[in-house]
């Protein structure tokens, strides 16, 4: 079956040049192929588009009416093609970004004004939730994911490391004592994160390879790190969270890092993921580059606390 769009282009070129041979030369194809396209178009429409004699070719009334619509369609396609091509070269348009609640609110949102100033033609829709969204089904251009990535067809770029820490409020440690070993955690009120990739809320994992674990218990569990942080700051118990959530509290003294006998298990990192595309839109590339330059090799939230968190 001949390509319908090509048929429109051939028809418009024949009408403009008034000759099958001239249209063939202009389009770089054989006159036979031009004739086939016109014949296929006439057969599909059920009308004659041109009067043909041995000496001349002229467009019919039906052909003139169809030419007007064809030229409009071809012009709209050309405009659409140009817009898409421009999107590949210039950062513009709406970028729909999904991120985990705590990371998005704490680390992404505060930098969006600077990103907007650098890329004024890009608008951002920021969606915050901790579930694993489907980019294709839900129409997201980009998602931020933390930790190990499951095997998928998505393209991933690491934009930040992700370190973790066990900490508690000074009031809690004064009342319950300071644990020195991971084994000591069994005697403490450990507030559990229910969405952890590497361990259950009641089993915390340590060690460079995550090969040391300890059974813990506590009177609060939550699916959001900031909820646990608030409870820890109030003195309710210990938390085991990424430093991007607790860094400010560590600096202010609201929380204190615990020097345990095993290193905390760092997550694989923070990744920007998007659907496969050999030529991703400029707005997407601009966003990833912007945040990667600010978060790598050392993110701002870890400055001054790294030595006490790993």
Specify whether 193 is located in the same domain as 227: yes
Q: Are residues 100 and 246 in the same domain?
A: no
Burial 92-125 (b: 16+ CB within 10 A, else e): bbebbbbbbbbbbebbbeeeeeebeeebeebebe
For 81-106, the pLDDT digits (tens) are 666 665 566 888 999 999 999 999 99
CATH number at residue 22: 1.10.10.10
Whether 309 is in a domain gets the answer no
For residue 211, give Cα distances in angstroms to 145, 179, 203.
23, 20, 12
Mean pLDDT of 18-38: 89
Average pLDDT over every residue of 277-291: 88
With bands split at pLDDT 50, 70 and 90, how would you rate the model's confidence at 308? very low
**What gap in Å lies between CA 208 and CA 295, rounded to an integer?**
22
Beta bridge partners of 271: 145, 158
How far apart are alpha carbons 214 and 206 in whole angstroms?
Answer: 8
Pair (237, 284) in one structural domain: no
Residues forming a β-bridge with 156 = 273
Minimum mean pLDDT among 81-90, 128-137, 202-211, 258-267: which range? 81-90
Q: Is 147 part of any domain? A: yes
The verdict on 260 and 178 lying in the same domain is yes
Instruction: Answer with the residue of higher pLDDT: 86 or 285.
Output: 285
- The predicted pLDDT at position 310 comes to 37
Residue 197 gets the label, from left (phi > 0), alpha (psi -120 to 50) or beta, of alpha
**pLDDT above 50: residue 265:** yes
- Domain-terminating residue out of 88, 119, 147: 88
pLDDT, average across residues 238-244 = 96
What is the average per-residue pLDDT within 243-259? 95
Q: Are 309 and 164 spatial neighbours (Cβ–Cβ below 8 Å)?
A: yes
> How confident is the model over 171-190, as a mean pLDDT?
96
Q: What is the pLDDT of residue 82?
A: 61
Name the pTM for this structure: 0.71
User: Would you say residue 304 lies in a domain?
Assistant: no
One domain for residues 38 and 68:
yes
Q: Parallel, antiparallel, or unpaired for β 221-222 and 267-274?
A: unpaired
62 and 101 part of one domain? no
Do 47 and 117 reside in the same domain of the chain?
A: no
Same domain, 157 and 274: yes
Intra-chain end-to-end CA distance of the chain, in Å? 64
Structural domain total, the chain: 3
Has residue 307 been placed in a domain?
A: no
Tell whether 191 and 241 lie within a shared domain: yes
Residue 128 CA to residue 140 CA, distance in Å, equals: 12
Domain, as residue range, for 147: 93-161+269-299
In a domain, 232, yes or no: yes
Asked if residue 179 and residue 229 are part of one domain, the reply reads yes
Mean pLDDT is lowest, of 16-25, 179-188, 254-263, for: 16-25
Considering only CA atoms, which of 296, 290, 305 is closest in space to residue 270? 296
Answer yes or no: is pLDDT of 56 > 90: no
Domain boundary among 51, 68, 88: 88
Higher pLDDT, 38 or 77: 38
CATH code for the domain of 181: 3.40.190.10
- Do 260 and 168 lie in one domain? The reply is yes
Q: What is the mean pLDDT of the chain?
A: 89
Q: Are residues 222 and 277 in the same domain?
A: no
Q: What is the mean pLDDT of residues 273-278?
A: 86
Strand 267-274 to strand 142-146: parallel, antiparallel, or no bridges (unpaired)?
A: antiparallel
């Amino acid at each position: 079956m001949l390509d319908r769009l090509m048929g429109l282009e051939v028809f418009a070129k024949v009408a403009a040049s008034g000759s099958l041979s001239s249209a063939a030369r202009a389009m770089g194809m054989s006159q036979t192929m031009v004739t086939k396209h016109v014949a296929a178009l006439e057969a599909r429409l059920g009308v004659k588009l041109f009067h043909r004699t041995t000496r001349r070719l002229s467009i019919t009334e039906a052909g003139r009416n169809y030419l007007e619509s064809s030229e409009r369609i071809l012009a709209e396609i050309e405009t659409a093609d140009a817009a898409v091509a421009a999107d590949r070269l210039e950062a513009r348009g709406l970028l729909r970004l999904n991120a985990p609640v705590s990371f998005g609110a704490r680390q992404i949102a505060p930098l969006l004004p600077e990103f907007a100033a650098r890329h004024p033609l890009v608008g951002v829709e920021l969606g915050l939730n901790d579930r694993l969204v489907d980019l294709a089904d839900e129409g997201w251009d980009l998602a931020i994911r933390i930790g190990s990535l499951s095997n998928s067809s998505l393209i991933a770029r690491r934009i930040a490391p992700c370190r973790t820490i066990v900490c508690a409020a000074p009031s809690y440690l004064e009342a319950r004592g300071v644990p020195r070993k991971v084994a000591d955690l069994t005697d403490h009120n450990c507030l559990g994160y229910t969405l952890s990739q590497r361990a259950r809320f009641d089993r915390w994992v340590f060690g460079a390879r995550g090969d040391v674990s300890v059974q813990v218990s506590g009177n609060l569990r939550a699916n959001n790190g900031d909820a646990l942080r608030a409870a820890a700051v109030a003195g309710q118990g210990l938390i085991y969270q990424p430093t991007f959530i607790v860094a400010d509290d560590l600096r202010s003294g609201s929380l204190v890092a615990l020097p345990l006998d095993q290193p905390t298990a760092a997550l694989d990192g923070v990744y920007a993921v998007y659907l496969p595309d050999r030529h991703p839109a400029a707005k997407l590339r601009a966003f990833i580059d912007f945040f990667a330059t600010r978060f790598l090799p050392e993110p701002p939230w870890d400055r001054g606390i790294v030595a006490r968190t790993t």
